[in-house]
Structure 1
Amino acid sequence: MLHVNAVKHVSRTLSKLSKKSNFLTYSVQNQTQDDIFADLLASLGANEPSILSKQIQNEREPAFQFFHEINDKQIKSEEATLETAKKRYHKEIDLTVKRDSGSQTPAAKKILIDWVAPLQTRIRDLQIRVAKGSLTHIDQELTTMVSSEKMAVITLYESFSALLSANGTIALSRLAARIGSVLTAEINVSQMTVPSHLKGRDNKFIRNINRYAKSAPEVSVLVDDKEILKISVELIKLLIEVAVIPGESDGEIIEVPAFTHSVVKQPTLQDETDTDHNSSIKSLGIVRMAPKLHALIADENTIREFSRTKFLPMVVKPKPWEEHDVGGYLTLKSSIMRVYSSDIQKKLLRDFDLKMIFESMNVLGETEWNVNKKVLDVVNQVWNNGGGVASIPSRTDHEVPPKPNKDVDKNIRNKQLGLIKRLKTENANMHSLRCDLLNKLKVAENFADEKFYFPHNLDFRGRAYPIPPHLNHMGADLNRGLLWFHESQPVGERGIFWLKIHLANLCGQDKVGLEERVDYVDRNIDLIKDSADQPLNGSQWWIKSENPWQTLAACFELTSILRSPDPHLYKSKLPVQMDGSCNGLQHYAALGRDNMGALHVNLLPTVKPMDVYSGVLNVVKKFIEKDSKEGNPIAALLNGKVYRATIKQTVMTSVYGVTWLGAKEQIRRRLIEKKEIDLDQVNKCSSYLATTTLKSLGEVFSSAKTIMEWLNECAHLISSVGRPVMWVSPLGLPIAQPYRRDNKQQIKTVLQSVIVVDKSDKLPINSARQKSAFPPNYVHSLDATHMMMTALKCHKSGICFASVHDSYWTHPNQVDLMNEHIRESFIELHSQPLLEALLEGFREMYPQVEFPDVPSKGSLDLERVKSAKYFFD
């Protein structure tokens, strides 16, 4: 007898097949339902007709109808997303045309960047030739009254706007007159003070300025319209010479002009009433925008890149990643890596075998999610009641007092103006927070009754992120509280244990032993149940938590479990999180086989979790006591006044290469907050304490300091030969650091202030950034690799898995198995000769560089990580 509903069985089986070949694409490749079901039955081992196959055959129409409906829903969602992006984008173009000024659409700004520098160089050459007398037909004084930078920006932006508003074709005389008008205004403004009633940012302002300047007494150089038109025509000629876009000839990519000039013949009537006898032919100079340039601005790929497309969760499984730009959404274009301006990185992604990367991203994308409606209801109640509770912004702005009169005492007036400024800033921030919340709530409401998925991709270091921006588990506490798994599993005894650990961790109890955390939850069980029963009308215990919304979700779940007839059989959907203990330093300790460092970051078995911040603090205190006894007045002043919180941020950011100045600023803020040191002594104290903290870190994590210095030196040597630092992660992801010197200029014209930033691969390397960023980026590539390896192991074991960098999530009853995989993956990763492989790769890629040998290592036994219960907890 069959104990399975055929439709559900078909759905589950098709879901399994979709992991190998996405059903949605599988079903549209002209394959019949009979073909698909033949594959389905074969996968079940049903080679001959059976009761099962007949039942499936009878129920297959409802199953196919279900799949087609859900497929259509996803495609319509993606089409609507792109359509919204198109409307937003074309609105930008319409506004540009209506403003009829130098403002540009995002895509146009990107395209113009490549032309600013060469045009500026040509204009500077033009000015030099005019000054030397090589060009006599152009007015020398007018040519030098506007800088080459301003001339370049005015020519580019005015030409682009004029051509957009004229559908790509404009008379040369008209364009020259437009550019000349702005140049004239620029010259006039440089000679006088602009009256307040004339100020503006449009072409009317330009006309008013030029009209006013004709009678303004302070204007010594009157601009001759004919002379400025000559200059404008020269600028247009230079623009046509430098502005190029990619084109194609005989299958090869070449550069073609973005603008062209031609002379056309057209009839002109001598008399409007005489259409037959008195017409003549007139030559007219025309400037055209290349059709390809116009298409480039408005094509779908450009729209996707520049229109801030708001991706949504998917109601079907994401398309499996198969190539660097094939995967994720069914129709919307996305890339496996968030790379925008680096052609080097894009080429690496095309050339490397990314199979393992694709597989791990597919695992993350296949995790099924739901909205936790209980939490959503409370969020809506808080918002409808005015907000202002548990990170929900208030719906009411601060009342801003009126500006004080000028006759008020200066000090009082300044304080009042400062208060007004602060309140306005807070109101603006509140508005942004409200918009962000409403975006989250809109997505949550729209998907409240759906099973959905988050397609993932990577940053350039290999760290994984969900593509949908507004509501995902990578967000802050509210996001995570609103989400839980779609699949539910019986919690069992160990699941209840880990759920209590999870709840205690959310409430800041993660520095005590596991048993003490369980005891904390048991002691507060009445408050936990009260939070679940009446979250807004009871004691509101959950609101006091460091993570209130996740705490509320855990209160709901634990209360339901404990009140169920058989708690161990209760099916839970709540993810339990296992977090790394200062994960960056864990990787450094493993790289250097550093026993002391490993102990402080819980790589070794301990009775209670080690607190790395307290460990460093103890060393800091020893230095302070020693210096104090030796007569150091600053040490004596600090003795007994340095706490864990004082140095925590510096220790936390040490793995990211915090500088001495950065450490000093971090510590200075903490000293001011504590108010135990006089303000006039804070600067000296923070300087001393920054030095002492970094020295103490070097003692506790000696191998981390040595490895960081080695990585810094390697990056310095690579960047000194003008190359970016590149390496390959242990799973085969190629990484190229993108840091180059920004070609950044701020150019102010009468119409606008333009900041031109070029970040192309053609720019010189930013050596300092390449060096300082490499150690943290390399460690991030390792923690990303560890996550991917763990994800693949969990998937193979049938465990539901999600991650937020070094925080790994699964069902309560699967935590023990996931913990095994976390430790196995870490040992497997660091059992490889990682630094040796990195050095070998450097020597192959940069043969002209003499690299230092890998630092010596300690004696840490990585196998002991298996029994380190606080490694991830």
Structure 2
Amino acid sequence: MNDHLYLEELQLEEDARGLTIQRFHKEHLKGTLEETFSETFLGSHIIRNYLMPFTSGITRFLDDANSGRAGKKTTAYKLIGEIDPALCAFLALKAIFNKIGVYHEGKPCGLTSLAIYAGGLIHDELRLREFDEEHHKWSQRIHDDFNKRELPRHKREEYMQKVFSKANLEWAIWTKSDMLLVGLALLNVFKEVTGDIEVETTGSGKAKRDVVKASPGLLLTVEKNSGLCEALFTTYYPTVIPPKDWSVDTLNVGGYHTHHVSPYPLVKGSKKAYREILKELVATNVLDRVLGAVNALQRTRWQVNVRVLDAIEHVYNRNIPCGGLPRANNRKPDPAPRNLEGLEADHPAVKEYRAYCFGIHEHNRRVVGKRVMAARSFQIARKMSKYDTIYFPHDLDSRGRAYPKPSGLNPQGPDYVKGLLQFATGKPLGRDGLKWLAIHGANCFGKDKLLMHERADWGKDNLDLARRVAADPRHNLEWTKSDNPCQFLAWCFDWAEAHAGPFPEQHVSKLHVDLDATCSGLQHFSAMLRDKVGGFHVNMTPNQQRQDVYGAVAKVTERLMREDFSSNEGVEIKDKEGKVVSSIPFANLSRAWVNFGIDRSITKRPVMVKPYSGTRTSCGQYVVEAVDEKIGEGAAMPFPKEDLWTFKMYGADKVWKAIPEVVIAADGAMKWLMTMSRLVGKSQPVEKRIEWKTPLGFPVHQYKFDTTSRRVKTFFDGKIIKPRLSEDLDTLDPRQMASSVPPSFVHSLDGCHLHATVSKAAEQGITDFAAVHDSFGVHACDVERFSLIIREAFVEMYETHDVLSEFYETAEQLISDELKEDIPPIPPMGSLDLKGILSNPFFFS
């Protein structure tokens, strides 16, 4: 190993530790100064520990007051006696930790102001709950909008006060005195239960006042948790030397080389008992192919493509639209037109302009997180660009899916991050590589629905485009109009270079050419049940024509809509009170949809999530988003604005009904898995889990427990987390088990296919891999061989393993005798010949 690079790696890991601590303390100091400490990583962690004992204390206080043991019922009891104690505890804790300055020993807070603040939070929540009872649908729409837009608390409160005014309701029903008494009562309970706040009297005369301070014990608790949370807040950089291989001796210490990076296990979040099982499997060589695949991924040699980085930073800093790249600065609304001067605030033109401004501000607020991520990606890329080779340590989630540890810059990022990375070692293209590099250009541009030879021709036909872009990407911005602009830019550079001389097949290329699955979840379900219909639609049968499952569902959806052209029925329109006020004929809705266009963009996400326990609700959400996106891109408004929601829901209903006509096996397999998981949950086995192994032997343990505290949503303050108290977490939740196992089962098979593919390819001499769950990439010259390896690995998985029968054998042992009669039969096998996958180039393409 290069001694200089080893020393560089040690310094990088030490720098990462310093950056971790700096970032952690900066966030939490900011939270203290802005009185949002309860919402920080550390604040949330501490509140979680206090929630249960504080809730118990409030419950005792209310019980004592109600029984008369505490004497006459207090004003506080009368006001909050019917409110969930957990809700009171959560809101009061937010008030306490936002105000008393536990971080870096902030200034003490006045007792009166803290009590009024805490009481005010509970008052506001109480008013909103009463509003929800009286106007539930209206309330639900507002609540959903709040969650979608992520408005800060004070903005939510301002908006709701306006809503109350519009509904002729009083917002404030408690006086300040009421809020004070409620807050004082809760602070007193917190003090009695924990002893972690102190009340002192400061000043004298008119300046005399009572203040609340964090106790030394609370400050010590914060300090201890701060150290713990620093470790959880770790910043991970790429390494400049190969990461430590995963082996029986390193299963719990990660791929980094020093103590400066917090150690992590191979399987993130795993329990000690699971790690012991894993260690035994590794020691007996059961998981050789799994570890071999993960080690191959993290031994892949990468480098930053500096030319792409320069160009992307250029367009980013100038706010030039470029795919999913966010703007570097906020958008500014156009000045108000002069004709608005002197008009009343409720004039339609004024309202329209204000709505326009609101949309701009909403957009700015939503992209803040994306902007931070983009800036961080560029910063890390620039830092790592001086190294010829970098590596990305990987770990696995509980289902076996592989993830790089470094965030910001890694091969699984969005387009603008993927485009920044190329393999460190190039390979000559050869004839096959030249063809696949041409196909890669077409894929990146957005021509991935063409036949393979048509994509290759597209690449050849657009050599001049590649040359124009490569010559001056800062001024020739044609590349920014492609589907994946940053990866397409990297292709333009490489394609132009390949054709700079007379023999393009001799060009040494560093790009990774990716092959994407055709809805991998449906491919797995079709394989495990040999579903010939579903398999045809996801390119699992011999076929030189590319099938599009999303387009197939779109065609069925349109057929169902056309059947409504002559319908006499319609959708009832109700007011806020639930009374029917009108109806919209199905005929009108269906014709409007057909005119609008039911294409794959409408059906893609509902179909994509179906194998992962997609629901009717999620289908509706995705159709709404697809319609909004289509309108945002310039499509005509398909229906009157006031009835647009009905239009969207009608479309979602038809999409949901169309999916089972195309996606057959997935539905039956999902329902079977859900039933088996529910029965295991009801049986409460000693193991307290359901488990299975992937075809490569990777163990998956799934457990979803009951809790003593239900999840309580609040309008302004998020949701109460479920505290993990061991005495209350000893029973499985059958409902959650049923909903969580099907997607986890399919994800585990996704992970297994990746392990099988990478390990098989590594055995055949391929050394560099780009992998994103169901998208695998290698050098262009290796793609022809790799494409067949992908298909062979998949076929071998399902020809050598009946995954549902194996799941049954394990689950059946966990189901109690009295419930065994409820076990449903495994769905029957169809007639799909898996070997047909081997001759279909579109299986991954």
TM-score by length of 2: 0.75
Indicate whether 1:861 and 2:838 are aligned.
no
Indicate whether 1:362 and 2:290 are aligned.
no
Q: Which residue of 2 aligns with 1:34?
A: none
Q: Distance in 1 between matches of 2:59 and 2:559?
A: 63
Mapped contact 1:739–1:765 kept (Cα < 8 A) = yes
SS in 2 for 1:440: helix
Q: Which residue of 1 aligns with 2:669?
A: 707
Indicate whether 1:785 and 2:745 are aligned.
no
Q: Distance in 1 between matches of 2:294 and 2:36?
A: 45
* Bigger Cα Rg: 1
Q: Which residue of 1 aligns with 2:809?
A: 840
Q: Which residue of 1 aligns with 2:225?
A: 297
Change (3 A) 1:583 1:127: closer
Deviates more, 1:829-838 or 1:600-609: 600-609
SS in 2 for 1:88: helix
> Amino acid of the residue matched to residue 619 of structure 2?
A
Mapped contact 1:720–1:767 kept (Cα < 8 A) = yes
Change (3 A) 1:345 1:798: same
Q: Distance in 2 between matches of 1:394 and 1:155?
A: 37
SS in 2 for 1:427: helix
Q: Distance in 1 between matches of 2:328 and 2:90?
A: 46
Mapped contact 2:395–2:404 kept (Cα < 8 A) = yes
SS in 2 for 1:563: coil
Deviates more, 1:828-837 or 1:509-518: 509-518
Indicate whether 1:476 and 2:401 are aligned.
no
Q: Which residue of 1 aligns with 2:615?
A: 659
Q: CA deviation at 1:128?
A: 2.8
Q: Which residue of 1 aligns with 2:582?
A: none
> Amino acid of the residue matched to residue 835 of structure 2?
E
Q: Which residue of 2 aligns with 1:43?
A: none
Change (3 A) 1:682 1:344: farther
Aligned to 2:639, which of 674, 678, 689? 678
Aligned to 2:423, which of 485, 492, 505? 485
Q: Distance in 2 between matches of 1:753 and 1:694?
A: 33
Q: CA deviation at 1:738?
A: 4.9
Q: Which residue of 2 aligns with 1:554?
A: 491
Mapped contact 1:129–1:135 kept (Cα < 8 A) = yes
Aligned to 1:566, which of 503, 510, 521? 503
5 Å matches for 1:427-506?
427-450=364-387, 451-506=389-444
Q: Distance in 2 between matches of 1:457 and 1:92?
A: 27
> Amino acid of the residue matched to residue 845 of structure 1?
L
Indicate whether 1:69 and 2:4 are aligned.
yes
SS in 2 for 1:809: strand
Change (3 A) 1:534 1:856: same
Q: Which residue of 2 aligns with 1:208?
A: none
Q: Distance in 2 between matches of 1:682 and 1:233?
A: 51
Change (3 A) 1:574 1:759: farther
SS in 2 for 1:808: strand
5 Å matches for 1:92-107?
103=38, 106-107=41-42
> Amino acid of the residue matched to residue 861 of structure 1?
D
Aligned to 1:113, which of 35, 39, 48? 48
SS in 1 for 2:450: coil
Q: CA deviation at 1:575?
A: 0.8
Q: Distance in 1 between matches of 2:837 and 2:403?
A: 27
Q: Which residue of 2 aligns with 1:801?
A: 769
SS in 2 for 1:317: coil
Change (3 A) 1:355 1:123: farther
Q: Which residue of 2 aligns with 1:7?
A: none
Mapped contact 2:51–2:723 kept (Cα < 8 A) = no
Q: Which residue of 2 aligns with 1:333?
A: 262
Mapped contact 2:393–2:406 kept (Cα < 8 A) = yes
Indicate whether 1:649 and 2:605 are aligned.
yes
SS in 2 for 1:457: strand
Larger RCO of the pair (alpha carbons < 8 Å, separation 6+): 2
Q: CA deviation at 1:398?
A: 2.8
Q: Which residue of 1 aligns with 2:454?
A: 516
Q: CA deviation at 1:787?
A: 0.6
Deviates more, 1:753-762 or 1:451-460: 753-762
Q: Distance in 2 between matches of 1:223 and 1:533?
A: 69
Mapped contact 2:28–2:37 kept (Cα < 8 A) = no
> Amino acid of the residue matched to residue 262 of structure 2?
K
- The one-character-per-residue Cα deviations of 1:813-864 (angstroms, maximum 9, x if unpaired) are 1112212211111011112110001111111233454222211101222122
Q: CA deviation at 1:191?
A: 11
Change (3 A) 1:130 1:481: closer
Structure 2 stretches of 5 or more lacking a match?
125-152, 155-173, 199-213, 570-584
> Amino acid of the residue matched to residue 842 of structure 1?
A
Mapped contact 1:366–1:453 kept (Cα < 8 A) = yes
SS in 1 for 2:552: helix
SS in 1 for 2:419: helix
Q: Distance in 2 between matches of 1:506 and 1:771?
A: 38
Q: CA deviation at 1:865?
A: 1.6
Q: Distance in 1 between matches of 2:104 and 2:303?
A: 50
Q: Distance in 2 between matches of 1:410 and 1:161?
A: 42
Q: Which residue of 1 aligns with 2:533?
A: 596
Q: CA deviation at 1:596?
A: 2.0
Aligned to 1:776, which of 730, 737, 743? 743
Q: Distance in 2 between matches of 1:517 and 1:165?
A: 58
Mapped contact 1:801–1:810 kept (Cα < 8 A) = yes
Deviates more, 1:584-593 or 1:454-463: 454-463
Q: CA deviation at 1:668?
A: 5.3
Indicate whether 1:87 and 2:15 are aligned.
no
Change (3 A) 1:801 1:121: same
5 Å matches for 1:606-617?
606-617=543-554
Mapped contact 1:341–1:759 kept (Cα < 8 A) = no
Mapped contact 1:528–1:541 kept (Cα < 8 A) = no
Q: Which residue of 1 aligns with 2:245?
A: 320
> Amino acid of the residue matched to residue 790 of structure 2?
I
Indicate whether 1:733 and 2:688 are aligned.
no
Q: Distance in 1 between matches of 2:94 and 2:650?
A: 53
Mapped contact 1:155–1:236 kept (Cα < 8 A) = no
Aligned to 2:331, which of 378, 398, 410? 398
Q: Distance in 1 between matches of 2:220 and 2:27?
A: 19
- The one-character-per-residue Cα deviations of 1:431-462 (angstroms, maximum 9, x if unpaired) are 54443332222112111131101111223332
Mapped contact 1:365–1:455 kept (Cα < 8 A) = yes
Indicate whether 1:757 and 2:712 are aligned.
no
- The one-character-per-residue Cα deviations of 1:341-393 (angstroms, maximum 9, x if unpaired) are 98887787677646543332211111010111221232233345554445544
SS in 2 for 1:319: coil
Indicate whether 1:422 and 2:359 are aligned.
yes
Q: CA deviation at 1:740?
A: 6.2
> Amino acid of the residue matched to residue 333 of structure 1?
S
Q: Distance in 2 between matches of 1:426 and 1:223?
A: 38
5 Å matches for 1:176-255?
182-183=114-115, 235-239=190-194
Give RMSD over aligned pairs: 4.3
Q: CA deviation at 1:518?
A: 1.5
